Structure 1
Amino acid sequence: MGVTLISDFNADSREIIARLKDMKQKTLLEAWFMDDSREDPQLPHHRNPCEFMSPDQSRRFALEVESRQDLLDLCPEKVENYEQKLKNFYTEHIHADEEIRYCLEGSGYFDIRDKDDRWVRIWIKAGDLIILPAGIYHRFTLDTSNYIKLMRLFVGEPVWTAFNRPQEDHPARRNYISNFVQKTRMPLEAY
Structure 2
Amino acid sequence: MISAWRYNESDEDQRELHQFTPNREVPVSELVELGILYWNVDVTGPLYLEKVDTISHERGYKNKDIIDISKATLPNFEEKIKTFFEEHIHEDEEIRFILEGSGYFDVRDKSDQWIRVACKQSDLLPAGIYHRFTLDTANHLKAMRLFKENPKWIPINRSKETDTNQFHVEYLHNIAKEL
Within the candidate set 76, 80, 87, 2:75 is matched to 80
Q: Does 1:69 align with 2:69?
A: no
Within the candidate set 108, 129, 132, 1:136 is matched to 129
Long gaps (5+) in structure 1: 1-27, 185-191
Instruction: Deviation per CA, 1:145-167: give whole Å up to 9, x if none.
Output: 00000100111212211100111
Name 1:53's counterpart in structure 2.
26
Amino acid at match of 1:74: I
Aligned length: 155
Contact in 1 for aligned 2:91/2:152 (Cα 8 Å): no
| Whole-angstrom distance in 2 between the partners of 1:175 and 1:121 | 23
Q: Does 1:29 align with 2:2?
A: yes
Which contiguous aligned blocks of 4+ residues in structure 1 show a shift greater than 4 angstroms? 60-63
| Whole-angstrom distance in 1 between the partners of 2:11 and 2:169 | 29
| Whole-angstrom distance in 2 between the partners of 1:69 and 1:118 | 31
Name 1:103's counterpart in structure 2.
98
Q: Which has the larger share of helix?
A: 2
Give the Å deviation of 1:79.
Answer: 1.0
Identity %: 41
TM-score by length of 1: 0.76
Q: Secondary structure at the match of 1:176?
A: helix
Give the Å deviation of 1:67.
Answer: 2.1
Q: Secondary structure at the match of 2:169?
A: helix
| Whole-angstrom distance in 2 between the partners of 1:37 and 1:65 | 39
Give the Å deviation of 1:38.
Answer: 3.6
- More displaced stretch, 96-105 vs 30-39: 30-39
Name 1:40's counterpart in structure 2.
13
- More displaced stretch, 153-162 vs 132-141: 153-162
